[in-house]
Amino acid sequence: MNQFATPSEDAGPVPFTARVRFLAIFILFMFLLHFSWEILQAPLFALMPVMSQWQATLVCLKATFGDIGIAPAAFSAGGLLDRNVAWFLHPSTRAFVAYMATGVLFTIVFEWHAVYWANRWAYSSLMPVVPLLGIGASPLLQWLVIPPVALQLLRRHFRAVGRP
């Protein structure tokens, strides 16, 4: 079976351009969703409320690029487990769990590093902190909510436009 076919079909190998298109559109969806989330959660971080609008926007943009750095690793984890570049069309449970777990684990590690080791940012008193992990609830929730939404958008997009 090829990397794009459903279990009932085999249409040959997936062209490289289709693979690039999957990832590019996925990253676009992730960028739009993560940037929106970053803007909305800004008051939960110390100093953000006192920054100029432009400075705060740049901080949110920088954070979004960090999220975009995690996204391809998470997407690839799902594809590697299913051995299918178009795994998102019919994701197995194990591919979806790998996708989610990769994003969440990266987030926990990076958030811990940024807050406690590198002192890159701090939480305001408004940020709920996850017990035992010691990281903000909002960044963790971000990686529990956005990835499934992005996957659904990607799936809908490719089903609407047809296969490559």
What pLDDT band is residue 96 in, cutting at 50, 70 and 90?
very high
In angstroms, the CA 133 to CA 74 distance is 21
Angle at 93 between CA 33 and CA 8, to 5 degrees: 105
Residue 47's closest CA among 119, 150, 101?
Answer: 119
pLDDT above 60 (res 157): yes
Of all residues in the chain, the percent with pLDDT exceeding 70 is: 91
Residue-wise pLDDT tens digits, 100-153: 999 999 999 999 999 999 999 999 999 999 999 999 999 999 999 999 999 999
Tell me the per-residue pLDDT of 17-56, one tens digit each, with 9 for 90 and over: 888 888 999 999 999 999 999 999 999 999 999 999 999 9
Task: State the pLDDT at residue 12.
Answer: 54
pLDDT at 147: 98
73-93 per-position pLDDT tens digit: 999 999 999 998 889 999 999
Q: Hey, which residues does 129 pair with through a beta bridge?
A: 136
pLDDT of amino acid 16:
83
* Helix 137-161 and helix 93-112, axial crossing angle in degrees, nearest 10: 140
Structure tokens at 12: 């040959």
Q: Report residue 3's pLDDT band, with 50, 70 and 90 as the boundaries.
A: very low
For residue 85, the model assigns a pLDDT of: 86
Contact predicate 40/123, CB 8 Å: no
